[in-house]
Amino acid sequence: MKLGILVSALALCAGVASAAAEDVTIGMIEPMTGPSASTGKQAKAGAELYIALHGATVAGKTIKLEIKDDTGAADVTKRLAQELVANDHAAALIGFGLTPLALAAAPIATEAKVPEIVTSAATAVITEKSPFIVRTSFTLPQASAPMAEWAVKNGIKKVVTIVTDYGPGLDAEKWFGETFKKAGGEIVQAIRVPLKNPDFAPFIQRVADDKPDAVFVFVPSGFGAIFMKQFAERGLAEAGIKLIGTGDVTDDDQLADIGDPALGAVTAHHYSAAHDSPENKEFVAAFEKANGFRPNFMAVGAYDGMALVYHALEATKGATDGPALLAAMKGAKWTSPRGPVEIDPDTRDIVQNVYIRKVEKKDGQLFNVEFATVPMVKDPFKASKK
């Protein structure tokens, strides 16, 4: 009898132990505080919504999302990545709000053979820094080259570029500039503004003096409102200078804050909260209900990052070894709220539609309204090296 109790107690312990072993930790690292906190807020909400809508169980495993705040500091990202892999046995790392943060985790992903799913950062070269990096955000060349093509076809001949002076800004400057010049356009000035404590006003004054047809701008998500306010204050729109850019500057998270000065801005990007599809309508409604704010492209990047985790775990039937998960992620295809997407098996970058959009008012609210689609764009940086 006593033995019977002991045996069932042991069985119970084993049951508890094996139930615990069924948890799969996914380590999310994002700036939840600091100047890029809006990215962390959006990414966290996007990843959590995926789990809420699809259930926490996949292939017999329970997903445990561990969210860590790197404050936007690369040394913190690296330490958190190390801890998540070594102490929490994370099966995948996800997030990475800025390029330097994605790069800081790359050696950890390589060494631990754990997939690093970049859902936010967007400098083209990131995926080349570890064979374990897979991306569900976008690349700046992917958005900037289509913007240049549209500009030339729509009577814009002279452009000043203004970009934030680090990886993604330099990609935007290069890929907009080169594509624009190749198609017959002229870049009259290429301005770079520091990432830390940016004051765009003196730069914007220099733009006014050049009298271009348009200003092409890249600022990282979260910085659009500062730029747009200063652009409006200097009267550039009244002077007939158009605003074009990648969609980071008219970020859905900031459009309401920017207000009417955003009206008419034309940008190229992979996601708008106004994207007209049943998948997106469902996504936006559920997101707003859960969070009380509108999703932006950082939310969709993280939502799709979780979709990729689920897809991979289903493919491995719940096995969590990194190389198997990585293999399952390569070539994955699904319908995102942004439209059809796939992971290029060679570059591990996302292939997706790039939409040309204009800021318009719908029912009293500002939206990036899509009016043209460049279908299934691969990152041109990697394509150019072939």
As measured in angstroms, the least distance from the Cβ of 129 to ligand PHB is 13
Q: How many CB atoms lie within 10 A of CB 260?
A: 10
Decide: is 220 part of the binding site for ligand PHB (CB under 6 A).
yes
As measured in angstroms, the least distance from the Cβ of 92 to ligand PHB is 19
Residue number with the smallest Cβ distance to ligand PHB? 220
CB 105 within 8 A of CB 30: no
| Burial per residue of 362-374, b for 16 or more beta-carbon CB atoms within 10 angstroms, e otherwise | eeeebbbbbeeeb
What the block records as the tokens of 141 is: 């060349």
C-beta of 95 vs 167, nearer to ligand PHB: 167
C-beta of 168 vs 305, nearer to ligand PHB: 168
Decide: is 105 part of the binding site for ligand PHB (CB under 6 A).
no
Decide: is 40 part of the binding site for ligand PHB (CB under 6 A).
no
As measured in angstroms, the least distance from the Cβ of 20 to ligand PHB is 36
- Whole-angstrom CA distances from 143 to 9, 45, 149, 241 are 59, 24, 11, 21
C-beta of 217 vs 325, nearer to ligand PHB: 217
As measured in angstroms, the least distance from the Cβ of 55 to ligand PHB is 30
As measured in angstroms, the least distance from the Cβ of 96 to ligand PHB is 8
Count of residues in contact with ligand PHB, rule CB under 6 A: 10
As measured in angstroms, the least distance from the Cβ of 98 to ligand PHB is 4
**In this chain, which of 65, 90, 98, 124 binds ligand PHB, going by CB under 6 A?**
98
Reduce the secondary structure of the chain to three states and give it as a string.
CHHHHHHHHHHHHHHHHHHHHCEEEEEEEECCCCCCHHHHHHHHHHHHHHHHHHCCEECCEEEEEEEEECCCCHHHHHHHHHHHHHCCCCCEEEECCCHHHHHHHHHHHHHHCCCEEECCCCCHHHHHCCCCEEECCCCHHHHHHHHHHHHHHCCCCEEEEEEECCHHHHHHHHHHHHHHHHCCCEEEEEEEECCCCCCCHHHHHHHHHHCCCEEEEECCCCCHHHHHHHHHHCCCCCCCCEEEEECCCCCCCCHHHHCHHHCCCEEEECCCCCCCCHHHHHHHHHHHHHHCCCCCHHHHHHHHHHHHHHHHHHHCCCCCCHHHHHHHHCCCEEEECCEEEEECCCCCCEEEEEEEEEEEEECCEEEEEEEEEEEEECCHHHHHCC
As measured in angstroms, the least distance from the Cβ of 126 to ligand PHB is 7
- 303-342: which residues touch ligand PHB (CB under 6 A)? none
- 155-214: which residues touch ligand PHB (CB under 6 A)? 167-168
Vertex 124: Cα angle to 92 and 81 (nearest 5): 25
As measured in angstroms, the least distance from the Cβ of 215 to ligand PHB is 17
C-beta of 191 vs 313, nearer to ligand PHB: 191
C-beta of 85 vs 104, nearer to ligand PHB: 104
C-beta of 123 vs 130, nearer to ligand PHB: 123
The region of 65-73, 115-123, 303-311, 335-343 touching ligand PHB under the rule CB under 6 A is 115-123
**In this chain, which of 38, 142, 221, 320 binds ligand PHB, going by CB under 6 A?**
221
As measured in angstroms, the least distance from the Cβ of 293 to ligand PHB is 17
- 67-86: which residues touch ligand PHB (CB under 6 A)? none
Going residue by residue from 247 to 286, which x/- string records binding to ligand PHB, judged by CB under 6 A? -x--------------------------------------
- 116-145: which residues touch ligand PHB (CB under 6 A)? 121-123
Residues of this chain that bind ligand PHB (CB under 6 A): 98-99, 121-123, 167-168, 220-221, 248
